[in-house]
Amino acid sequence: MTESAVHPALWPAPVASGAVDATVTVPGSKSVTNRALVLAALASEPGRLRRPLRSRDTLLMADALRAMGVSIEETVSSSASATGDASGPEFSGETWRVVPAPLRGPVTVDVGNAGTVMRFLPPVAALAEGPVRFDGDPRSYERPLTGVIEALRVLGARIDDDSRGSLPMTVHGGGALDGGPVAIDASSSSQFVSALLLSAPRFNQGVEVRHTGDRLPSLPHIRMTVDMLRAVGARVDEPETGGEPNVWRVAPSALLGRDLTIEPDLSNAQPFLAAALVTGGRVTIPDWPAHTTQPGDALREIFTAMGGSCELTEHGLTFTGSGRIHGIDVDLGEVGELTPGIAAVAALADSPSTLSGVAHLRLHETDRLAALTKEINELGGDVTETADGLHIRPRPLRGGTFHTYDDHRMATAGSVIGLAVPGVEIENVATTAKTLPDFPQMWTGMLGA
């Protein structure tokens, strides 16, 4: 009996029979969807989100806001696509109408293992009338929250966490929050900064957030937060526009409801672009924005350096592999979420790679650096952890089980390796539902299966 027969959770990663040639429509950005939900919930008037991502993380966010009193009405104007191509579901017809309401407790919020939910919503809960308890998956208890908890206390919130600095915890909302200046160490997660900025227009004094720690990771996500705040009428002073380094100021103000179309999730496009690189094929991602704050946009430069070429037109991005994969020496500090997919491609390259600037990945859905090292090496690879990243020496790989640790990006990374290595089986591929619903169907559709 095969291992996959004994463990039905194992998914045989398809091997590419040749160069891929596909158009893959990826659903909306998780990062944009969850920020937009928070801003819409705190607005002074109703708003709409068009083409939102429907995934575990975004549904957890929507359900949490509903529990606190916000109305989120979902409508779909067209049926799901059944064309059999790689485009997956038809997302263009879905709209979420968000109607703000006075926030209330007592309620319990399930954060799952979603960093955006566990970090963005405690400041929102501080504005509610009544207690809001936060709980989640076992891994969520291990993820850092001290920066948000301590900052909210300085700003006037009352929080019961039994001195853990992590979940589970209860925010005792008083209907308002003083706000004002606060210093935090956000070196373990840029979400600490974004969490405070998103709710700051509703604080009595707004907020001044000063980062006091070492290098701040994932700066594009903070830029995304700032841009989205400004789009709904907030006044933000930031380092990028001549403000004081490592200081962000948001003035108190009413937020506008708006009609927002969510960009495709560019980081979730990564495995499909990687497929073009690995197979020497071509993949087009429709609606790739010409200007964006999403970290995934860096893939155009990174994957081109690794051996491909890309063309961005009004229709989207077309990426073409050359048939060869080159190693790369790259600092991924601002785009750490791309590390698993880049590591998977690097394991198949013709020369070594060094990925740096990503020590904070040890605190993500899993310890991504340890997980990538273990799983690639168990397939015959040669990966070494460094202080802030990975050194990857390509070796001939063999089949085997690729464990995911309930981490969606581990599952897609293993699938990329499986394109070129027969016999790779992905444990719990369903974890991709966190941000990329229907990934197995999209993957096999890309391959023409």
Three-state SS string over the chain comes to: CCHHHHCCCEEECCCCCCCCEEECCCCECHHHHHHHHHHHHCCCCCEEEECCCCCHHHHHHHHHHHHCCCEEEEEECCCCCCCCCCCCCCCCCEEEEEECCCCECCEEEECCCCHHHHHHHHHHHCCCEEEEEEECCHHHHHCCCHHHHHHHHHCCCEEECCCCCCCCEEEEEECCCCCEEEEECCCCCCHHHHHHHHHHHHCCCCEEEEECCCCCCCHHHHHHHHHHHHHCCCCEECHHHCCCCCEEEECCCCCCCCEEECCECCCCCHHHHHHHHHHCCEEEEECCCCCCCCHHHHHHHHHHHCCEEEEEECCEEEEEECCCCCCCEEECCCCHHHHHHHHHHHCCCCCCEEEECCHHHHHCCCCHHHHHHHHHHHCCCEEEEECCEEEEECCCCCCEEECCCCCHHHHHHHHHHHHHCCCEEEECHHHHHHCCCCHHHHHHHHCCC
What pLDDT sits at residue 366?
A: 83
337 catalytic, yes or no? yes
- Summarize pLDDT for 402-430 with one digit per residue, the tens: 999 999 999 999 999 999 999 999 999 99
What pLDDT sits at residue 76?
A: 85
- Summarize pLDDT for 57-74 with one digit per residue, the tens: 999 999 999 999 999 999
What pLDDT sits at residue 4?
A: 40
What pLDDT sits at residue 429?
A: 97
Task: Say which amino acid occupies 16.
Answer: A
What pLDDT sits at residue 79?
A: 41
What pLDDT sits at residue 449?
A: 66
The active-site residue out of 150, 337, 375, 427 is 337
Q: For every one of its 449 residues, what pLDDT tens digit does the chain have, with 9 covering 90 and above?
A: 333 434 448 999 999 999 999 999 999 999 999 999 999 999 999 999 999 999 999 999 999 999 999 999 999 865 433 333 443 333 446 999 999 999 999 999 999 999 999 999 999 999 999 999 999 999 999 998 999 999 999 999 999 999 999 999 999 999 999 999 999 999 989 999 999 999 999 999 999 999 998 888 889 999 999 999 999 999 999 987 777 899 999 999 999 999 999 999 999 999 999 999 999 999 999 999 999 999 999 999 999 999 999 999 998 999 999 999 999 999 999 999 999 999 999 999 999 999 999 999 998 778 999 999 999 999 999 999 999 999 999 999 999 999 999 999 999 999 999 999 999 999 999 999 988 989 999 999 999 96
What pLDDT sits at residue 364?
A: 76
